[in-house]
């Protein structure tokens, strides 16, 4: 009795289920080991890319919410402070909404470098402060980052000074919430006058923040470049320029990281070869038997392919879940320090992270590529050979 | 290409040489011609190493001859692609291996019906067909057992079930009684005899002289040193 | 002819395969849910507005993968310092911090100051 051909989708379903049966029914332990091994290889990759995406998001906000232009002095090609009177050079430009001088510097607080930001007035919204603090109201008051507050006990009301200027005393008025971004964690925010006194640069600013009126940035840019023809020269960075490089910078870094990871990944290939090749003699004979009873080469290949797909999906998902837990429950313990320049096994601020689909899909593709490398060629070689050879 | 409309399967002047290394070759078959008509049952006998298994593999398209031609149902299949031979194997030929070649960690019914998987046969239909066949072969208590949990005789019958699941026109059995006890061998011969009475073409390779009378083959070929010898 | 009475598909390879398929689909769903949860967390109104408010307060601060301005400001925020001057430090061998080695947003240019004039002399 000859079988009538049945719909081909049933055939494919059978082959997919056969692949799953091989993994879960016949070799469950080996399958588990393979999945966990792959997940262990993929998990740092996903964790790192998620941190990169998290920093990218926060950086984007920094760019979008910052000024349209950053103007600083020029000293032999490096940034230099400029006098507050420089503001007068730009006052005549109608398309400018406002100009804000700023001092940004760094100093040491005990052994730690901290960022100092001084802005005119020092106004800070209360919503970004943790409970118990308040905005700056008096001279000498500062808002500190959450890490500094925790590490050095700088709670509201505490007075301190910094080695850079022992005569300048500060009082903590409030503490930035850790939701503000990673750059708030080690920041000391004060008034422009206080920053000028701290750094002994009264009447100076490290940069001028120029905010253009809506849609007037291109016009302001031209004015600024014209103004820059005169002496003394200054350095200008525009939001548009920063934006164009910002995206490319992150993608380039992520790309470089991925390439390096692939190279390291290659070291995992021998491990995967061993794991997927376990029982390779048995598998060879099995393929020979299947061919002998009428399985086509493509049928055998399809089963091998779906086995790899199953393993890749499960390992990528497991790696993502592990990365998620590692970031959100363990705050990137041990791993975050390699991707955010913050000393210590456990960062003392919430590690920024975003789990977006592309890295997850990339992890799946990596796992698939690795398992295919380990098995598909050999499977094809066996399946395409005459059964008598493989059955020997 | 010629045709031989009377033969189910035919090997015409086939030779098979195995190249073991640059210097060493083994001529497993030399100018062998054998023809098996439809419905015929044939025994190929010979000592170990005479080329019986090689000849059987050529007749079942598990291997290709180094020289000569193979015909199946009148058609010269020597130049057929592996996929075409696979299709014919799947539809028309059942092969029982000397060492059974059952798939480990797979239930008996799954082993028996493994050739139905790529045909898209539903699982419950595969189970039904395999259960019926295993029942006929006296394995109704072993349907869910794995080969490693079965005796030699049971494995032999399971291997037969796998070969018979698609009701092949041609059954090739390589030493079907060599690895089992006498009682199991008798049962296996009964099964083969039953198939013969239903018109199945059977080619059996064996070195067991005592087998000939119980089986009552239509023809007996004697192989020695890769060549056919007069019986 | 009928088969064994009450023949069961439980424990068959196909049923194991089916269970694995369900497990894989479930794992994929869990992954999607985790990403959605993360997205809602990252996109939560209060967090985004806190970050936005902070950045507006400080005039846009921070872009690199450094939470503190250790060593130099370059990898903390390239807008503050886009030139790596660590090679001028007196430490032999230096620390290989450079735009290409550290910052995640590297090499941000400034608006060019076009003041170069080429004076041609001769016929």
| Domain that includes residue A185, residue range | 82-205
Q: How confident is the model at residue A276 (pLDDT cuts 50, 70, 90)?
A: low
Are B131 and C11 in contact (CB < 8 Å)? no
Looking at residue C79, its pLDDT comes to: 84
Are residues B34 and B55 in contact, defined by beta-carbon separation less than 8 angstroms?
yes
Which residue is closest to C101 within chain A, CA to CA?
A: A253
Nearest to C50 among A127, A228, A339 (CB): A127
Among candidates A47, A29, A31, which has minimal Cα distance to A371? A31
The pLDDT of residue C33 is above 70? yes
The pLDDT of residue A223 is above 80? yes
- Higher pLDDT: B193 or C88? It is B193
Q: What is the pLDDT of residues A88-141, one digit of tens each?
A: 988 888 999 999 999 999 888 877 888 999 999 878 888 888 888 899 999 999
Looking at residue A188, its pLDDT comes to: 95
Q: State the average pLDDT over residues B131-148.
A: 93
Q: How confident is the model at residue A191 (pLDDT cuts 50, 70, 90)?
A: very high
Looking at residue C45, its pLDDT comes to: 66
Q: State the average pLDDT over residues C11-22.
A: 91
Q: How confident is the model at residue B80 (pLDDT cuts 50, 70, 90)?
A: very high
- Asked whether residue A34 falls in the same domain as residue A154, the answer is no
The pLDDT of residue C86 is above 70? no
Q: What are phi and psi of A41, to 5 degrees?
A: -75, -35
Q: What is the DSSP letter of A340?
A: S
CB pairs under 8 A between A and C: 266
3-state secondary structure chain B: CCCCCCEEEEEEEEEEEEECCCCCEEEEEEEEEEEEECCCEEEEEECCCCCHHHHHHHHCCCCCCCEEEEEECCEECCCCCHHHHHHHHHHHEEEECCCCCCCCCCCHHHHHCHHHHHHCCCHHHHHHHHHHHHHHCCCCCCCCCCHHHCCHHHHHHHHHHHHHCCCCCEEEEECCCCCCCHHHHHHHHHHHHHHHHCCCEEEEEECCHHHHHHHCCCEEEEEECCEEECC
Cβ count within 10 A of residue A331: 16
- Asked whether residue A276 falls in the same domain as residue A176, the answer is no
For A228-254, letters b (16+ CB in 10 Å) and e give beeeeebbbbbbebbeebbeebbebbb
- Asked whether residue A190 falls in the same domain as residue A276, the answer is no
Are A25 and C17 in contact (CB < 8 Å)? yes
Q: How confident is the model at residue C100 (pLDDT cuts 50, 70, 90)?
A: very low
Residues from chain C that touch A339, judged by Cβ atoms under 8 A, are: 65
Which residue is closest to B167 within chain A, CA to CA?
A: A1
- Asked whether residue A107 falls in the same domain as residue A26, the answer is no
Q: Is A199 on the interface with C (CB under 8 A)?
A: no
- Asked whether residue A195 falls in the same domain as residue A89, the answer is yes
pLDDT > 70: percent of chain A: 94
Among candidates B156, B94, B134, B167, which has minimal Cα distance to C2? B134
Nearest to B166 among A3, A17, A295 (CB): A3
Å from B159 to nearest chain C CA?
18
Among candidates A278, A284, A281, which has minimal Cα distance to A300? A284
Looking at residue B96, its pLDDT comes to: 94
The pLDDT of residue B6 is above 80? no
Are A355 and C34 in contact (CB < 8 Å)? yes
Question: What residues form DSSP beta bridges with A141?
Answer: A171
Looking at residue A108, its pLDDT comes to: 83
Termini Cα distance of chain B:
31
Helix (H) or strand (E) holding A113: strand A112-119
Are C11 and B144 in contact (CB < 8 Å)? yes
For residues C108 and C106, give the distance between their C-alpha atoms in angstroms, rounded to a whole number: 6
Whether the bond into A103 is cis, omega within 30 of 0:
no
Are residues B185 and B177 in contact, defined by beta-carbon separation less than 8 angstroms?
yes
Q: How confident is the model at residue C39 (pLDDT cuts 50, 70, 90)?
A: confident
- Domain range B7-229, its CATH number among 3.40.50.300, 3.40.228.10, 3.30.70.1060, 3.30.390.50: 3.40.50.300
The pLDDT of residue C98 is above 80? no
> Longest Cα pair distance anywhere in chain C, in angstroms?
110
Looking at residue B231, its pLDDT comes to: 64
Q: What is the mean pLDDT of chain A?
A: 87
- Higher pLDDT: A118 or C65? It is A118
Is position A222 within any domain?
no
Q: How confident is the model at residue C3 (pLDDT cuts 50, 70, 90)?
A: very low
Q: How confident is the model at residue A170 (pLDDT cuts 50, 70, 90)?
A: very high
Å from B29 to nearest chain A CA?
15
> Longest Cα pair distance anywhere in chain A, in angstroms?
103
Q: Is A306 exposed, middle or buried (0-12, 13-18, 19+ CB in 10 A)?
A: buried
- Asked whether residue A304 falls in the same domain as residue A174, the answer is no
Cβ count within 10 A of residue B197: 10
Find the helix packing angle between A357-384 and C13-42, rounded to 10°: 160
pLDDT > 90: percent of chain A: 43
The pLDDT of residue A373 is above 70? yes
Are A186 and C68 in contact (CB < 8 Å)? yes
Looking at residue A62, its pLDDT comes to: 92
- Asked whether residue A57 falls in the same domain as residue A87, the answer is no
Looking at residue C114, its pLDDT comes to: 52
For residues A141 and C53, give the distance between their C-alpha atoms in angstroms, rounded to a whole number: 20
Q: How confident is the model at residue B14 (pLDDT cuts 50, 70, 90)?
A: very high
For C91-118, letters b (16+ CB in 10 Å) and e give eeeeeebbbeebbbbbbbebbeeeeeee
For residues B144 and B110, give the distance between their C-alpha atoms in angstroms, rounded to a whole number: 8
Q: State the average pLDDT over residues A344-358.
A: 84
Å from A287 to nearest chain B CA?
10
Q: What are phi and psi of A188, to 5 degrees?
A: -120, 115
Residue from B102, B104, B109 to probe the interface with C (highest C Cβ count within 10 Å): B109
Q: How confident is the model at residue B48 (pLDDT cuts 50, 70, 90)?
A: confident
Q: State the average pLDDT over residues A177-188.
A: 90
> Longest Cα pair distance anywhere in chain B, in angstroms?
53
Q: Where are the domains of chain B?
A: 7-229
Looking at residue A312, its pLDDT comes to: 94
Q: CA B52, B219, A291, A289: dihedral to nearest 10 degrees?
A: -60
Looking at residue C6, its pLDDT comes to: 45
Q: How confident is the model at residue C117 (pLDDT cuts 50, 70, 90)?
A: very low
Q: How confident is the model at residue A211 (pLDDT cuts 50, 70, 90)?
A: very high
Nearest to A294 among B57, B115, B122 (CB): B115
Are C3 and B123 in contact (CB < 8 Å)? no
Looking at residue A162, its pLDDT comes to: 85
Is position A226 within any domain?
no
Å from C25 to nearest chain B CA?
21
Are B132 and C1 in contact (CB < 8 Å)? yes
Q: How confident is the model at residue C4 (pLDDT cuts 50, 70, 90)?
A: very low
The pLDDT of residue C59 is above 80? yes
Note the ipTM here: 0.91
Of A205, A236, A262, which residue sits at a domain end? A205
Is position A71 within any domain?
no
Q: How confident is the model at residue A343 (pLDDT cuts 50, 70, 90)?
A: low
Looking at residue A168, its pLDDT comes to: 87
Contacts of B172 (CB under 8 A, 6+ apart): B56, B59, B60, B93, B94, B95, B96, B203, B204
Q: How confident is the model at residue C104 (pLDDT cuts 50, 70, 90)?
A: very low
Of A205, A237, A255, which residue sits at a domain end? A205
C-alpha pair distances (Å), B143 with each of A213, A290, B99, B135, C12: 82, 20, 20, 8, 11
Is position A157 within any domain?
yes
Q: What is the mean pLDDT of chain B?
A: 89
Looking at residue A130, its pLDDT comes to: 87
Q: State the average pLDDT over residues C71-90.
A: 67
For residues A293 and A316, give the distance between their C-alpha atoms in angstroms, rounded to a whole number: 35
Number of separate domains in chain A: 2
Q: What is the mean pLDDT of chain C?
A: 70
3-state secondary structure A226-264: HHCCCCCCEEEEEHHHHHHHHHHHHHHHHHHHHHHHHHH
- Higher pLDDT: C118 or B164? It is B164
Q: How confident is the model at residue C97 (pLDDT cuts 50, 70, 90)?
A: very low
Q: CA A73, A79, A84, A89: dihedral to nearest 10 degrees?
A: 30
Nearest to C13 among B110, B128, B132 (CB): B110
Does the pTM surpass 0.95? The reply is no
Is position A292 within any domain?
yes
The pLDDT of residue C5 is above 50? no
The pLDDT of residue C1 is above 50? no
Least confident range of A27-36, A63-72, B146-155, B208-217: B208-217
For residues C34 and C28, give the distance between their C-alpha atoms in angstroms, rounded to a whole number: 10
Q: State the average pLDDT over residues A308-324.
A: 95
Å from A150 to nearest chain C CA?
15
Q: What are phi and psi of A113, to 5 degrees?
A: -80, 135
The pLDDT of residue C20 is above 90? yes
The pLDDT of residue A163 is above 60? yes
Among candidates A263, A210, A290, A205, which has minimal Cα distance to A15? A290
Å from C14 to nearest chain B CA?
7
The pLDDT of residue C69 is above 90? no
Among candidates A66, A168, A209, A187, which has minimal Cα distance to A117? A187
Are B62 and A11 in contact (CB < 8 Å)? no
For residues B177 and B154, give the distance between their C-alpha atoms in angstroms, rounded to a whole number: 12
Q: What are phi and psi of B176, to 5 degrees?
A: -70, -15
The pLDDT of residue B5 is above 80? no
């Amino acid at each position: 009795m000859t079988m009538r051909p049945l719909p081909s989708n049933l055939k494919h379903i059978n082959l997919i289920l056969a692949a799953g049966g091989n993994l879960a029914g016949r070799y469950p332990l080996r399958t588990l080991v393979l999945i966990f091994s792959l997940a262990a290889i993929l998990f740092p990759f996903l964790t790192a890319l998620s941190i990169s995406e998290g920093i990218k998001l926060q950086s984007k906000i920094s760019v979008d919410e910052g000024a349209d232009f950053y103007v600083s002095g020029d000293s032999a090609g490096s940034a230099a402070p400029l006098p507050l009177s420089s503001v007068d050079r730009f006052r005549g430009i109608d398309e400018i909404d406002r100009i804000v001088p700023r001092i940004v510097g760094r100093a040491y607080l005990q052994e730690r470098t901290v960022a100092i930001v001084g802005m005119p007035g020092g106004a800070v919204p209360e919503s970004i402060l943790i409970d118990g603090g308040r905005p700056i109201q008096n001279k000498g008051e500062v808002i500190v980052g959450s890490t500094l507050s925790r590490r050095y006990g700088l709670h509201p009301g505490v007075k301190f000074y910094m080695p850079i200027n022992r005569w300048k005393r500060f009082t903590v008025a409030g503490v930035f919430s850790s939701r503000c971004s990673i750059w708030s964690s080690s920041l000391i925010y004060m008034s422009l006058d206080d920053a000028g006194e701290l750094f002994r640069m009264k009447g100076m600013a490290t940069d001028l923040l120029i905010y253009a009126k809506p849609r007037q940035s291109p016009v302001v840019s031209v004015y600024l470049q014209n103004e820059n023809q005169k002496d003394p020269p200054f350095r200008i960075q525009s939001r548009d320029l920063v934006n164009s490089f910002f995206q490319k910078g992150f993608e380039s870094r992520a790309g470089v990281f991925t390439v390096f990871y692939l190279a390291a990944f290659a070291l995992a290939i021998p491990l995967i070869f061993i794991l997927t090749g376990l029982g390779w003699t048995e598998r060879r004979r099995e393929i020979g038997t299947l061919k002998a009873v009428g399985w086509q080469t493509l049928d055998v290949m399809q089963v091998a392919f779906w086995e790899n797909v199953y393993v890749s999906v499960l390992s990528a998902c497991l790696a993502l879940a592990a990365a998620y837990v590692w970031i959100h429950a363990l705050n990137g313990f041990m791993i975050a320090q390699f991707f955010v320049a913050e000393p210590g096994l456990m960062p003392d601020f919430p590690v920024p992270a975003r789990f977006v689909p592309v890295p997850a899909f990339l992890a799946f593709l990596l796992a698939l590529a690795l398992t295919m490398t380990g098995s598909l060629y050999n499977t094809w070689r066996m399946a395409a050979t005459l059964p008598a050879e493989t059955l020997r | 290409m010629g045709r031989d409309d009377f033969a189910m399967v035919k090997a015409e002047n086939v030779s098979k040489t195995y190249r073991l290394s640059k210097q060493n070759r083994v001529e497993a078959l030399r100018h062998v011609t054998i023809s098996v008509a439809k419905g015929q049952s044939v025994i190929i006998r010979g000592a170990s190493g005479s080329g019986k298994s090689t000849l059987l593999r050529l007749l079942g398209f598990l291997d290709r001859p180094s020289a000569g031609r193979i015909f199946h149902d009148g058609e010269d299949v020597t130049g057929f692609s592996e996929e075409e031979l696979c299709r014919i194997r799947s539809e028309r030929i059942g092969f029982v291996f000397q060492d059974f070649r059952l798939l480990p960690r797979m239930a008996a019914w799954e082993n028996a019906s493994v050739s139905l998987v790529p045909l898209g046969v539903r699982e419950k239909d595969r189970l039904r067909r395999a259960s019926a066949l295993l029942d006929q072969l006296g394995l109704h208590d072993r349907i869910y057992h794995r080969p490693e949990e079965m005796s030699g005789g049971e494995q032999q019958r399971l291997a037969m079930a796998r070969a018979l699941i698609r009701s092949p026109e041609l059954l090739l059995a390589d030493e079907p009684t060599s690895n089992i006890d006498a009682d199991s061998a008798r049962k296996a011969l009964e099964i083969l005899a039953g198939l013969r009475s239903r018109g199945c073409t059977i080619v059996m390779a064996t070195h067991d002289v005592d087998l000939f009378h119980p089986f009552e083959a239509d023809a007996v070929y004697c192989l020695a040193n890769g060549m056919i010898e007069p019986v | 002819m009928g088969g064994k009475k009450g023949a069961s598909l439980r424990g068959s390879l196909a049923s194991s395969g089916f269970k694995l398929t369900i497990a894989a689909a479930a794992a994929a769903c869990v992954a999607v849910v985790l990403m959605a949860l993360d997205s809602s967390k990252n996109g939560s109104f209060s967090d985004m507005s806190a970050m936005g408010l902070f950045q507006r307060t400080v005039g846009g601060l921070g872009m690199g993968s450094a939470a503190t301005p250790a060593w130099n400001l370059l990898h903390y925020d390239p807008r503050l310092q886009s030139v790596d001057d660590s090679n001028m430090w007196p430490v032999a061998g230096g620390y290989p911090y450079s735009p290409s080695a550290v910052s995640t947003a590297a090499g941000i240019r400034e608006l060019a100051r076009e003041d170069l004039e080429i004076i041609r002399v001769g016929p």
